[in-house]
Structure 1
Amino acid sequence: MYRFIFLMSIVLGFSGCTEKLEDKPDRPNFLFIAVDDLRNELGVYDNSQAITPHLDSLARSGSLFTHHFVQVPTCGASRHALITGMRPYKPIHLSNRAIEVEISGRPETDTPESFFHRFKQEGYRTIGIGKISHSADGLVYGYEEEPSAQRELPHSWSELLFDPGKWKTGWNAFFAYANGENRQSLKKQVKPYEAGETDDNGYPDGLTTQLAVERLKQLKDTDQPFFMAVGLFKPHLPFNAPKKYWDLYNRDSIEVSSNGDLPENIHLASLHESGEFNQYALGEEKAGLDRPVSEAYAKKLRHAYLAAVSYSDAQIGKLLSQLKASGLDKNTVVVVWGDHGWHLGDQRVWGKHTLFENALKSALIIKNPQMEKQAKRIDHIVETVDLYPTLLEMGGLSPRKKLDGTSLVPLLDSSGTDGPEVAYGYYKKGITMRTPEYRLTKYYRKAEPTVELYAHSKHDLENRNIAQEHPEIVAKLMPLLEEGNTGLYHTPQ
């Protein structure tokens, strides 16, 4: 019944439009693709081992951001910052329930709940497919509960679509294995990876892509501008993908982390014991801070992650091919955004949920066909909250509320930007700030040291805290870090 309702929404969504359009026939369409747990691991990035021909091609024809950082290194909170254009201001904004608590169930007002809502207010047909907010299908319910009818974003979507396939619910699909089971149904007695003997549609992201492709075919014949958002699950755990994507790689040649040891001069409270990863109880080894996993297992896990990335790349390739086949590519802005990074054994961590580079740095590509000339590679430091004003400016829309981000359009068209290069991140009772040369982190906790400083002039390893050695640098940078303190934390007494 659940699948039927969602598939019927495709048909019902075409039955008419009550939104009043302005006479702006040249307004661009938007295709926003959110990819879960996608760090800077695409073939086009330096030092990446990923095989991603479709995303590489998109990056070469658009703009690749090499230093994009999310606000919060966890899915729901990162997406709350994305869609609201706001940094976290209270503890719930660090939670996966941020959108559910702060947005879902509230009445519609002139102030938009998200930038999707803002586009809808201006006559765009907004279409959500897959995981855009935190929920796997956009509805509010627990991992092991029956789906509800309550939307996480009640006013953002003209159409909300999802096909859970044989997994029957969105959350089951999110943790899906090829045989129709999932992490919940198997009581976590599962491996954190799978090479499925199946085609692309044997996993949920293939079904999500299929829905989006079919919708794009129909949108080519409409005059109304659209904003389509597509959310792919992989490479989020479990690292499951059809075997053909595993076969792209030679495991023996896969390199493990060059930063697999604990950083010097820190408290272990800055890291974690890879609890999310260790929930997959049939993994060959448990990860922990006491010792790294074996090199053989690290290679296997990296192989699995890379296969999942290649699988997502193939799905994105189908979307881009359909855009071109429909002639929509000439007037559709395409954005690919990773909702945060992921430690692949870096600092002995397997997962996100830290204030280190590996958890905060993620993929970002923007292509705007209406720009005559785009900067190909943008090394400028940018933040996720910058996307809200960027999208509005490209769509010719004005904001209806204060935003924390700054439009990236001047970087895209190479006209330059003012102000310091800085990106703020929040988690684990701490605030971190990335500048071109340093990462400064301040923890509001009792465990010492509470200040960490990492040099980034030559590399991004973050393997030695130099705060005590360079108090003058800390003193110089701390006022800028405090500018990012939104009132979320106070020094413990």
Structure 2
Amino acid sequence: MKRLILLLILPSFVIFASSFAAEQRPNVLFIAVDDLRTSLGCYGDTLVKSPNIDRFAASARCFDHAYTQQAVCGPSRTSLLTGRLPDNTRVWHNRNLFRDTQPDIVTLPQLFKNHGYRTVSLGKIFSGDERELDPASWSEPEILKQKGWKNSVLGDSGGEGKGAAWEAADVPDEGCPDGKLARLAIEKLTGLQSGGKPFFLAVGFFKPHLPFNAPKPYWDLYDPATFELKDDSQRVKGISEHAHHSHRELGGYRDMPKDEHLDAATTRTLRHGYHACVSYTDAQIGKLLAALDQLGLAQNTIVVLWGDHGWSLGEKDRWCKGTNFERDTRVPLLIRTPGLLAPGAAASGLVELVDVFPTLAELASLPAPQELDGRSLVPMLANPQAPGRESALSQFTRPFSASTPEFMGYSLRTATHRYTRWITWPARQLVAEELYDYTTGPSTRHEGAFWIEEENIAAHSTQSDTRQALSQKLDHMLAERTKVKPEAQPAPKKKRKKKQP
């Protein structure tokens, strides 16, 4: 019996005890990438060139089925950094602020700060807006951007309006913001090495968020012809008007049609630009990880790399994020701990971004707040074959507004299906249902590294039992995990004074 108990606890023990002496607490390097979908070689994408993240993945645990709580920047980041679902923070829009409704929440970096860590934020972590930062989380003022960090090298974005949607300026890496951010992060990492305290360094890269501005050498990595969209450009069959977003992120750029219906040439250029930005940011992450090694910090540093939500590049007549479809809700998530067993082995179980908070708290032996909505991924770090969640929860509001929602769409992802329910808010009256089967057609197809929904089969008579079972599962999950009544109001809308980066 003693031998059995030892074998059961050994994997977790190896992860931590072999690397972290009792008197030496682990550092955390926390890397966020804005609008990064699973366009990475380590996720099976054969088109993209991401050698640095792929190399990192070979030493880390790649979570193949990680999902965001809401596929847009502010709510997704708030969920991860507070460990709470959007309904429990009332953050359904970038302008909703969690401290307006729950001022005493202890965030992930704040927990580390409260236990003696030096917590530092560089780039986009909580928000890309200076008025939506969170000073309570950090040991020193956040640096979102520094003077001269402009989206456009050629002066074609910023100011009034959004400017051009892409740019390929022939400049070195530090000619664009992410190159400058990488240099600043390396300088900060060097200082933290001799600071005498464990650190939590958060670095938030801006690309591949629009506009698709990357130095020309990263555009030159690709043959433009490879970005031809192999798609019928028809929307998913049988969906309600709520399934697609109504706000036009891409359509707001000067050279883009307002309805976001693009011709083939523009589609190729934008798909090319997104991948160029991924490769550019990948190179900056490579520099940061190399510095971690060169400074001798890697052996005592937990590294987390994550994207805040997915993205669509014209598939099924849709651009950007803002839906409950697979391409928007599925995200890259990679975690490396010193002494990790089976490095490079991917975990296929379902996980949520809200699970990151309790995971890091456990890895650092810190007491996590009891109100967290996530659960620790430590068992999956100890064993990539360990089961994940039975289902993952995502949601989105309609319209996308800082005021009280009119409709809410909850989406339940299982290992084989996705069930989405649209309801009125706050009355919770059923408006529409969606059902997709990822194991067979005709509702979905698998293309490269991505699942693409084709047809909503919720109304098919052959799917009645599956739809009902998943509907009941969603009922149970919402009753168990959402704690705030829908009548509660979100944070008041803030008048914007400046553009997001």
TM range (shorter): 0.7 to 0.9
| Amino acid of the structure 2 residue aligned with 1:114 | T
Query: Could you list the per-position Cα deviations for residues 318-368 of structure 1 after superposition, in whole angstroms to 9, with x for gaps in the alignment?
Result: 100100110101111111110001111122111101111111111111111
Q: CA deviation at 1:466?
A: 0.8
1:434 maps to which residue? Answer: 413
1:81 maps to which residue? Answer: 79
Specify which of 17, 25, 28 is matched with residue 26 of structure 2.
Answer: 28
Query: Could you list the per-position Cα deviations for residues 162-211 of structure 1 after superposition, in whole angstroms to 9, with x for gaps in the alignment?
Result: 3745547xxxx4xx11135643x1433x2211111211111111121111
SS in 1 for 2:181: helix
Unaligned residue ranges in structure 1 (runs of 5+): 1-22, 142-151
Specify which of 312, 316, 324 is matched with residue 355 of structure 1.
Answer: 324
- Relative to structure 1, the CA distance from residue 402 to residue 164 in structure 2 (aligned partners, 3 Å threshold; closer, same or farther) is closer
| Amino acid of the structure 2 residue aligned with 1:479 | Q
Q: TM-score, normalised by structure 2?
A: 0.82
Q: CA deviation at 1:424?
A: 0.4
For 1:258 and 1:296, locate their aligned partners in 2 and report how far apart those are by CA, in whole Å: 14
For the aligned residues, what is the CA RMSD? 2.5
Is contact 1:344-1:351 (8 Å) kept? Answer: yes
SS in 2 for 1:178: coil
- Relative to structure 1, the CA distance from residue 368 to residue 352 in structure 2 (aligned partners, 3 Å threshold; closer, same or farther) is same
Stretch of structure 1 that moved more, 242-251 or 392-401: 392-401
Matched, 1:128 2:126: no
For 2:37 and 2:65, locate their aligned partners in 1 and report how far apart those are by CA, in whole Å: 11
2:14 maps to which residue? Answer: none
Query: Could you list the per-position Cα deviations for residues 347-403 of structure 1 after superposition, in whole angstroms to 9, with x for gaps in the alignment?
Result: 211110111111111111111113344461111111010100111111111212321
For 1:199 and 1:434, locate their aligned partners in 2 and report how far apart those are by CA, in whole Å: 42
Stretch of structure 1 that moved more, 414-423 or 300-309: 414-423
1:187 maps to which residue? Answer: 161
Specify which of 51, 67, 73 is matched with residue 69 of structure 1.
Answer: 67
1:414 maps to which residue? Answer: 383
Is contact 2:153-2:169 (8 Å) kept? Answer: yes
Is contact 2:128-2:144 (8 Å) kept? Answer: no
2:200 maps to which residue? Answer: 227
1:457 maps to which residue? Answer: 439
SS in 2 for 1:270: coil
For 1:160 and 1:257, locate their aligned partners in 2 and report how far apart those are by CA, in whole Å: 46
SS in 1 for 2:43: coil
Count of matched residue pairs = 440
| Amino acid of the structure 1 residue aligned with 2:438 | H
Unaligned residue ranges in structure 2 (runs of 5+): 1-20, 398-407, 441-445, 488-501
2:303 maps to which residue? Answer: 334
SS in 2 for 1:411: helix
Is contact 2:358-2:375 (8 Å) kept? Answer: yes
1:246 maps to which residue? Answer: 219
Specify which of 36, 46, 49 is matched with residue 47 of structure 2.
Answer: 49
Is contact 1:39-1:358 (8 Å) kept? Answer: yes
SS in 1 for 2:272: helix
Is contact 1:340-1:361 (8 Å) kept? Answer: yes
For 2:276 and 2:236, locate their aligned partners in 1 and report how far apart those are by CA, in whole Å: 29
Stretch of structure 1 that moved more, 319-328 or 156-165: 156-165
Percent identity at matched positions? 38
Is contact 1:266-1:449 (8 Å) kept? Answer: no
| Amino acid of the structure 1 residue aligned with 2:153 | A
